[in-house]
Amino acid sequence: MSKVLFLGDEAVAQAALDAGLSGVYAYPGTPSTEITEFIQNSKQGKEGNVHSIWAGNEKTAMESAIGMSYAGKRAMVCMKHVGLNVAADPFMNSSITGANGGLVVVVADDPSMHSSQDEQDSRYYAKFALIPCFEPSNQQEAYDITYYAFEMSERLRTPVLIRLTTRLSHSRAGVERKAVRPQNELNVEKDPKQFILLPANARRHYRKLLEKQPEFEKDSLNAGFNRYIDGEDKSMGVIASGIAYNYLMENFPGGKCPYPVLKISQYPLPTDLVARIVDECGKVLVAEEGYPFIEEQLRGVLNRTGNIMGRLSGELPRDGELNPNLVAKALGMPDTYGSPVPEIVVPRPPALCVGCPHIDSYNALNAAMEKYGKGKVFSDIGCYTLGALPPYNAIYTTVDMGASITMAKGAADAGMSPCVAVIGDSTFTHSGMTSLLDAIYENTPITVLILDNSTTGMTGGQDSHALGVLGEICKGLGVKEEHIHRINPLKNHHEENVAIIEKELEYQGVSVIIPTRECIQTLSRRMKKQQAAKKN
């Protein structure tokens, strides 16, 4: 079969479809978004009636996937690394229930934080949950591993985690496909107690999970994704996991590394192979993208032998993503460099688009807040986080999805006044509704701006669950009708918008202001489509 060009994300999506996927569940998040989008746009997915509509958040996505697995079909959940924090409750407990239909959790980490607030390493989550974890090194492996992971999940009756990183998710290469396998028939879990995690059942299931650990490790040894490649020079060995393997091999044209190499793409670690490289080589360099996950396990807290090198020992930097140059330096090879960036070059940070509705919302908010001084606006995750930068300097916090409202509440509880939250429409339905309910329950004096651009903008314009019903949701939760306002974020409405915000800032209870205007990106795309349709 000829090769197809795929992003790492797309290779995962195509493999899942070819492996007989019945549903993907996800909330958009860079760098994982393209997996679900590929399935949404795929002819194969449409013909197979594969579920691919976006979920409200990562937790609801994970739970739906567990439900599909319960019903005997193959399900995949996709998210960015911090999304797994949101899904952690069902994720951790899915390891106790185990899987019926294949259950694969794909998590895309973002080392160097290109589009994220931290660079947490999802391999720890897999270890925490005691389930198998894969870490593909290239696009072909991303395909092969995903295809294999569904089969393994059903064979060992366990959810499986696949960890991607930004550079693999968003890099394209040729991929060879495998045969298409049909979807599973409906086959509901036969053990009536399997998915009832009452303590008595859960204890039994947990022991079963512990008993499976040697099987998981045996699979790591035999599935072929971990490889020992011998080398003549035993003065050093290299353990390279995931994409770090490529950065290692880039330094040896023709693929001939003089040192023994243990390539790791599957966990738990294959103890026999790790023991072999440590025993055979004088010292071992561990190159891994993310946290020093393998290195820390090998050296232990005491670091008695002192012969394990990597991010902890300082041969590689403790934070940020790796690259071929960093690995070359760690190997003691000469570094290469072009010429320095001329001083004349200045940073070009991302900015709100020309015509973006958030600009008018921030201008109105800044005018209304002027008399209260700085530091009283809490915000959230989305395009509007760029309001933290000049020329707006309008917001003072961004921590996690939904935190704007609850942080404003906490600050109000502390006696700060006024307290304002700024959150997007999609972030609000993701994790803001329960926060708002907390404030309503106590009638906390906060003013919440829900910026309604009718889309999930930052990740490229996915549908928003609250489209057209934000006011009704707030009313239903218990915000008083006279304190819910829809405003039009446009320059010629500036004065009246400022007046409405000013008035609600004085109200000693919960008010919600909803600036409503479509994202300029989705609007222009829609217009182009309409024009094209007219022409035809």
User: Nearest distance from residue 9's CB to other proteins, in Å?
Assistant: 9
Q: How many residues bind other proteins (CB under 8 A)?
A: 51
Residue 260's nearest CA partner among 232, 231, 236 is 231
Q: Which lies closer to other proteins via its Cβ, residue 31 or residue 268?
A: 31
Identify which range of 26-34, 259-267, 305-313, 479-487 contacts other proteins by CB under 8 A.
26-34
In the sheet that 133-134 helps form, which strands lie side by side, from edge to edge? 21-26, 74-80, 103-109, 160-165, 133-134, 266-267
Containing 261, the helix (H) or strand (E) segment is strand 261-264
List binders of other proteins among 148-177 (CB under 8 A): 167-168, 170-174
Residue 266 near residue 226, CB atoms below 8 Å? yes
Asked if 258 touches other proteins (CB under 8 A), the answer is no
Nearer to other proteins, 75 or 352 (CB): 352
From 318-326, 436-444, 481-489, 500-508, span contacting other proteins (CB under 8 A) = 318-326
Q: Which is nearer to other proteins, 399 or 437 (CB)?
A: 399
Q: Which residue in the block uniquely carries the two structure tokens 């940020």?
A: 320
Minimum distance, C-beta of residue 280 to other proteins, in the bound complex (Å): 24
The answer to the question of residue 518 lying near other proteins (CB under 8 A) is no
Q: Please tell me whether residue 255 binds other proteins under the rule CB under 8 A.
A: yes
Sign of CA dihedral 246, 250, 255, 257: negative
Instruction: Determine if 246 is a binding residue for other proteins (CB under 8 A).
Output: yes
Identify the CA nearest to 443 among candidates 513, 511, 510: 510
Write 171-174 long-range contacts (CB < 8 A, 24+).
Answer: 171/7, 171/8, 171/139, 172/5, 172/6, 172/7, 172/139, 173/5, 173/6, 173/138, 173/139, 173/140, 174/3, 174/4, 174/5, 174/6, 174/139, 174/140
Minimum distance of other proteins from residue 38's CB (angstroms): 13
Q: Distance between CA 102 and CA 184 in Å, rounded?
A: 9
Q: Are 104 and 73 in contact (CB under 8 A)?
A: no
Site membership for other proteins, residue 190 (CB under 8 A): no
> Least distance to other proteins from the beta carbon of 248, Å?
8
Stretch of 270-278, 307-315, 323-331, 401-409 lying at the interface with other proteins (CB under 8 A): 323-331
Q: What are phi and psi of 369, to 5 degrees?
A: -90, -10
Of 435-494, binders to other proteins (CB under 8 A) are 458-460
Give the one residue of 86, 383, 479, 510 binding other proteins; rule: CB under 8 A. Answer: 383
Q: Among 192, 199, 332, 340, indicate the residue that binds other proteins (CB under 8 A).
A: 340
Q: Are 124 and 293 in contact (CB under 8 A)?
A: yes
Checking phi first, is residue 329 left (phi over 0); if not, alpha (psi -120 to 50) or beta? alpha
Minimum distance from residue 103 beta carbon to other proteins (Å): 27
Binding of other proteins at residue 302 (CB under 8 A)? Answer: no
Pick from 38, 70, 247, 267 the residue near other proteins by CB under 8 A.
247
Phi, psi of 123 (to 5 degrees): -60, -30
Give the interface with other proteins as residue ranges (CB under 8 A). 3, 5, 7, 30-31, 33-34, 114-115, 138, 167-168, 170-174, 243, 246-250, 255, 323-325, 328, 335-342, 344-353, 383, 386, 458-460
